[in-house]
Amino acid sequence: MLAVDLSGKRAFVAGVADEAGFGFAIAKKLAEAGASLCVGTWPPAYGIFTKLLERGKIREALRLAGGGELEFERIYALDVEYDTLEATPAEVRENRRYKPHADFTIQGVANQLIADFGKQPLDIVVHSIANGPEVAKPLLETSRQGYLGALSASAYSFVSLVQRFGPLLRPGGSFLCLTYLASERVIPGYGGGMSAAKAALESDTRVLAYEVGRRFGARVNCISAGPWASRAASAVGFIGAMIDYARRNSPLPESIHAEEVGAAAAFLASPLGSGITGTTLYVDKGFHSMGMAVDPPPKATK
């Protein structure tokens, strides 16, 4: 039987802080395929996430399809807005939510992985992080700081992750990031420069695929997922309406499930996806292919 087999592989998923997001779903599917898991968690959420695990609050979500539970070899505090500790502002380093962690930067976590597992400890790296400080603002009202903040946290962070984790990958390694259709279509309300950040992320995926393939022999791909009601997505403010609209107007008129994104990620990271790189794969029930709404929302009533 043809199956996704990641036995003996180690994956690092950046952006896991609860059981509701795509990062967690991807981690589960990678584990079900046989991979061991390490994750990076935003420092302000680190204590909450580790306590949820310790107290068994999300035990049901940890259950794997083949039996057993999802386990993490390591949970590292990671803030992808900072490349090195030396370049991190003092007020951040001294912040009470950051201070307990020796080095929460991208380079710091790369160094910790080497210290914990050896020179080339990874096979799979997943970037499941997006943040726009002014995402609720229209582009016309977005400040320079807010716009560049969205690009830094949501797009350049992937470039930096690939720079510093590329040397850690064993032969046949794979990088993956997550994008959204706002990179190429107008999604009113998805503001603050986030649409530009997602467009940059997809462009960088193609360029990095070339550079990483030549330098490290690894692959770089991107998943464009349909709208999903993660806790982080609630910042957009109308995620429920986005999900409902996509469901009613997709070729498959149903909502996506996080597990479907996880399964696609496992396939792309596996030997079955060995010929795929520089690609954006849509996991959205076909919504991206539509050019006209077939079930417009009802008119507002007074």
Alpha carbons 17 and 131: distance in angstroms, whole number: 14
Secondary element (H or E) of residue 170:
strand 169-179
Tokens of 297: 């929302």
Cα gap 272→275, rounded to integer Å: 8
Sequential DSSP letters for 71-124: -EEEEEE--TT-S-STTS-HHHHTSTTTTTSS--SHHHHHHHHHHHH-SS-EEE
Residues 6 or more apart in contact with residue 236 via CB below 8 angstroms: 135, 136, 189, 190, 242
Q: State CA 257 to chain mean position distance.
A: 15
CA atoms of 58 and 40, how far apart (whole Å): 18
Is 180 in the active site?
yes
Give catalytic status of residue 82 as yes or no.
no
Distance, in Å, from the CA atom of 127 to the CA atom of 14, rounded to the nearest integer, reads 5
Q: Which residues pair with 174 in a beta bridge?
A: 124, 219
Q: Which of 46, 76, 82, 190 is catalytic?
A: 190
CB 31 within 8 A of CB 61: no
Q: Which of 34, 213, 13, 266 is nearest to 126 (CA)?
A: 13
| Given 180, 210, 245, 282, the catalytic residue | 180
Distance from C-alpha of 54 to C-alpha of 264, rounded to nearest angstrom: 29
Amino acid at 122: L
Active site residues: 180, 190
